[in-house]
Structures are given as C-alpha cells and as structure tokens.
Amino acid sequence: MPAALYAEIERFIPGTAQEAADRETLLGLIGQYGLHILDRDCEAGHITCSGFILSPDMQQTLMAYHLVYQSVGWTGGHADGDPDLLGVAMREAKEETSVTKLWPLSRRILSIDALPVPAHEKRGMPVAEHIHYNVTYGLIAPVDQPVRDKPDENRSVRWLSTEEIAGCCTEPHMLPVYDKIIERMRRLAAEKAEIPAQMLTPLLDWYPAHHRALPWRETADPYRVWVSEIMLQQTRVEAVKGYYARFLEALPDVQALAECPEDHLLKLWEGLGYYNRVRNMQKAARIVTEQYGGTFPQNYAEIRALPGIGDYTAGAVCSLCFGLPTPAVDGNVLRVLARLQEDFRNVLDPKVKAEMTAQLAAVYPQADCAMLTQALMEIGATVCVPNGAPDCGSCPLQDICMANAAHSERMLPVREKKTARRTEQRTVFVMECEGKIAIRKRPSKGLLASLWELPNVEGMLTPEEAIAQCSKWHTRPQALEKTVERRHIFTHITWEMTGVFLRCAAMPEGFVWADAADLQETYSLPTAFRCVLE
C-alpha cells in the first residue's frame, strides 16, 4: 500500500456523511489498487485533483467553461500517476487559466467527492463513463493578472463573484460542492486571522523558562540594544558575542561612537562584514548627539528616521527599551507566522511583511511588549528553526499551528528564489617588501566602499602577466613565491580569486606599506582579502 498517499487521504476530516463514505471508499481502493488508483485506466475509477480558486478577499472565483461538461466549473485534472495531489491541483489551475501567481490556502484537503463523469469524446477519441474520486484544495490568486483559455479543454476563463456561480453553472449537482468549499475556505481564512491573538499567552508563558542568556538581553539601554540588533543582521549569535563586548568596551555610549575615527571604527567591525552597517551607525550616533543631546529618541518615527535603521530595528528598540507595542518582524518572526497560519505567500514580498507586521501590532499587549518581542525572536531562532525540521514537539504553539496540523511546516515559509549570484574572477596581489605588504583604499562607492584592500585586478592572470602588472606599479618584482586559490561569497557576487605572493624590491607611492602589527591593530582588511593572506 502507498503509505504517503493513504495518509494524505486519511487526514481529511469529512464534513458530511457522504464525504465520509467517499473517503472510506477511496481508502479501500488505495488499499486494493495502490498507486494504480492515480491512473486513468484503473477500472474502479481514479483520482483527480481540483483547485477551487478564490481571490484574496474571498469574494470572487476564477472559473472556466469546460467543453466536456458544457458548464462553468472549477479547475482540475487527472493525477496521471503523480501522488503529489496538491501539486497536481496547482499545475492544472495554472495550465487551465494561465495565472502565474497562485498559492494554496492550505495543504489540507478541503473536500473528497466521488463524481460521475458521463461518456464523452476527447481529442476525437471516445471516453466511457467513469468515476472521478476528486480531491479538492483551496487556492488563492490575485485578480490583477492575465488569464486565457485552454482551447482544447475550456473557454471563457473569467472571474465571477461567488454569487454569480449559480447562474453560470449548468450542473446542479456541483453547486452544493462549490458552496461547501467556499464556506470552508472562508472559515479557514477566519481561523488564520485569529492565530496572532491566540499565540500570546502560550508564548509569554514559555519564554521565561526557555530563553537563552544573551548579553544584550541584560539591558534596556537603547544604545546597547541598537548595537546588538545591527550586529545581528546577517551574522550568527555566537559570532556576535565577542564583537559586541569588544565594541562596547571601546565605544560605551553614543557620543563615543559619534567621535570615533573611521579607521578605528572599521577595525572594531572587522570580520562582521557589510561595513555600511557601522558607517550608518556612526551617522546615526552623530545625529543623536547633535540633535537629541546624546539621548536616544523614544518614539518609533524618530528612531526609524535615523540612518541605517529600518522597520525591524526601530520596532525592536521601541519595544525592548521603551515598552512600545511595535513589532520587530525579521526572518525569524516571518517564519513563525507563516507556519502558524500556514501562509504560502512569499514572505520576501514587502506587502506580505507589512500585513504580518500589522497583524502583530493589532494584538501586541501593552504590558509585555519587550517579552513578546524577545519570545518571537527566540522561538524562531531555537524551535521554529530555518533550514531543517522545526522542533514541533517542544513548541508551546503546536496546538494552534496550522502548518503542523496540515504537515506542511517543511514547506514554509515560501521565499521566492534569489537571483543567481554573479561570479567575478580576480587576481589579488600580496606584494612584500622589507617585511611589509602593499595595501590601498578602495573607491568611495560600490562594493566594500572606502575599505582597505590588497591590490587586485579583474581576471585570472598567468604568473607572467602578474609579474608584468607589478612592474607597471613600479614595485620591482623579484620572485613569485606562491599562488593560492580562494573564494569569497557576497550577497550578489562571488569572487573567485587567485592570490599571487611576490617578493618586491621597491615600495612606491600609491600604496600603504603595512607590517603584520599594522594589519592587526590599525588597518581593517575585509574578510575577502584576509582569506588570501590566511
């Protein structure tokens, strides 16, 4: 017996006696015929998969006039051996209507119906009457996208208000099926909307006994919280701890940050990457010093207006330090909400993020804002984790998690595929003379702007070409000592690097010549170049 298909059908909870009977019949057929029940030539009938498409406001449905049935109806088609029933329903919906933006309301099956199919012709061939054991899923599609017919199967693909279905459908036996599915989809959407309020009590009860002890959680000082939040962007918690302590020891308050020389500031940040983060921090610190007398502003709009502070950081500082009901929605929180509500929309869409933020803001408790913000961060980081199976058995929200109930947690959140990184080849020069190596400043704009670098050129140079390049720089290369191959990955670019180590006899102007102590204490080399030296 195909266990996964059987379990998928068995999880469906019938809403009527007829559905219960149809489900039991289908389970029996799966036990008898196995995966053959997915094929059109199964003599007992076969599985088909339908997608009932509603607009996001649940007021319109996308239907097509089907030539076989001579009636307006839902989208769907034969499983044809594919046990991914939801995938079949979505594929058929896209093929029949041409919509490209479409997502499931839930992975759960909304209806199972044994539907008789009259004898008909398809592509000139006779098809005998038979039974479709139809499995239905609810799908959502925005109305502002083009649709078109699939001429060999349907015509007149169009949006109808849900009230118009009865006047357009010439199959009376299908109207109760459509009505129950619309009602179930609307009820499911209403249940999703209640989740944010339902999670508060179990989450707040869970946090005190289960949170990690982290140094930035021991303070409500907005400067220190702000520093931690900026450091934690794009960086793992364990890696941040040491940087956080070292940074605050050197720059204990806003004024110290505002007055710090840039080279020293970049040195403190060395290894964390994304150097514009710390440059923007200094810009913000100077504004706080000059416009607010060194006291951090205490409302969302003023904090959000500071350089380098986005919605998430402003929400975190306001809720953690000033007790304001301002959600801090990052990837962890989006993942938790997407799974709790079984939301298959793209969480990288700014509109989706804004809607989830508004949902949280509407239920934020006045008394426990800081704890709720921390609890959402913590459960996303330690329980409802990315890149693997969430620890649902330890989750205080398991009982209200729709993804857990529908077994869709590994499918969520949906993140649209990133644009492929561009790969660049570079030759990086380690030119040594009298125990010092050549470094220089990068341009003031672009990647790694204004940071120190090892001299480099685009392309992979041969040893002869590398020596010729050094000669153009007037370093008088004497010997090529070795080469190394390194790779460094940025957000949108990958550098494939050949590091060329050359002993030179001259230290011309145009470079700064630094010894090991200088590189350790004074000049901040980004990791992209340090990895060549290492």
Q: Cα separation of 484 and 311, whole Å?
A: 42
Q: Each residue of 45-61: b (16+ CB within 10 Å) or e?
A: bbbbbbbbbbbeebebb
Chain Cα centroid distance, residue 186:
26
Contacts of residue 151, Cβ cutoff 8 Å, sequence gap at least 6: none
The answer, yes or no, to whether the previous bond of 413 is cis (omega within 30 of 0) is yes
CA triplet 96, 97, 98: central angle to 5 degrees? 105
CA Rg value for the chain: 31
> Which entry of 96, 153, 229, 409 is annotated as an active-site residue?
229
CB 11 within 8 A of CB 3: no
The two structure tokens encoding residue 390:
């969430």
Q: Phi/psi of residue 144, each to 5°?
A: -90, 55
**440: closest CA among 457, 455, 458?**
455
Taking phi over 0 as left and psi of -120 to 50 as alpha, with beta for the rest, 119 belongs to beta
Residue the block writes with tokens 């809403």: 15
* Residue 221: exposure state from Cβ atoms within 10 A (0-12, 13-18, ≥19): middle
Residues making up the chain, counted from first to last: 534
Indicate the helix (H) or strand (E) that contains 280. Answer: helix 276-291
Q: Calculate helix-pair angle for 17-33, 3-10, nearest 10 degrees.
A: 180
Burial of 273 (0-12, 13-18, 19+ CB in 10 A): middle
Exposure string over 427-445, b if 16+ CB within 10 A, otherwise e: bbbbbbbeebbbbeebeee
The answer to whether 238 is a known catalytic residue is no
Q: What DSSP assignment string belongs to 477-500?
A: EEEEEEEEEEEEE-SSEEEEEEEE
Is-contact 352 346, C-beta < 8 A? yes
Cβ within 8 Å of residue 92, ≥6 positions away? 49, 50, 51, 75, 76, 77
- The set of catalytic residues is 229
